Amino acid sequence: MKHQELIVEWRHIGNDVENTCGRCGETGRAVLDVIKNIRPVLEEEGITVRMVETVLENEAIADSNSILFNGVRLEDLIEGMEVTSTPCCSCACFTGKDDVECRAVEYNDERYESIPPELIARAALKALGIDTATE
C-alpha cells in the first residue's frame, strides 16, 4: 500500500486558536478535535495526518476561517457548499475597523459561521478519496 498524507491547513487572522476571532477560534478547536479523533484510525491505514496553522495578516480577512485539505478548500470538497460572509464584531476588534465581515459557509440551507466538526471530518475523508456520506 502506498503511503498517503493528509495535510490539514487552518487559516485565520490573529495569533493562534485562543487569540483569533470567536468564530475562527471555534473552527480551529473543531479542526484540532477532528484531527485528534481521526488520526489514530488513519494512521492504522498508513495515512499520516499533519496540521498546518497559517496566521494571516488582518488585510487577508477574506481568507480567514478557512480550511484546506491537501491544498483543496473545504467548500470544494463538499458538494453544495457555498462561501459567504457575515458581520463579525470579533474581527472588527482585531482589525480595528468597523463593519468587518468574516468568512462563513452555507450548506443544506444552513449558515455556519464556524465550521462544524462533521463537515471537517467529511472533507478530510473526501480529500483522501474516502467518501462515507451520501450527498
- Please tell me the predicted confidence (pLDDT) of residue 1: 47
Location of C-alpha cell 495526518: 49
pTM: 0.86
DSSP states along 77-108 = HSTT-EEEEEE-HHHHHHHT-SS-EEEEEEET
- Please tell me the predicted confidence (pLDDT) of residue 135: 45
Break the chain into its structural domains and give their ranges. Answer: 4-127
Q: Which amino acid is at 1?
A: M
More confident site: 38 or 85: 38
Q: What is the dihedral of CA 58, 21, 56, 105, to 10 degrees?
A: -110
DSSP states along 57-68 = PGGGGGGSSEEE
Q: How confident is the model at residue 20 (pLDDT cuts 50, 70, 90)?
A: confident
Residue 11 has pLDDT above 50, yes or no: yes
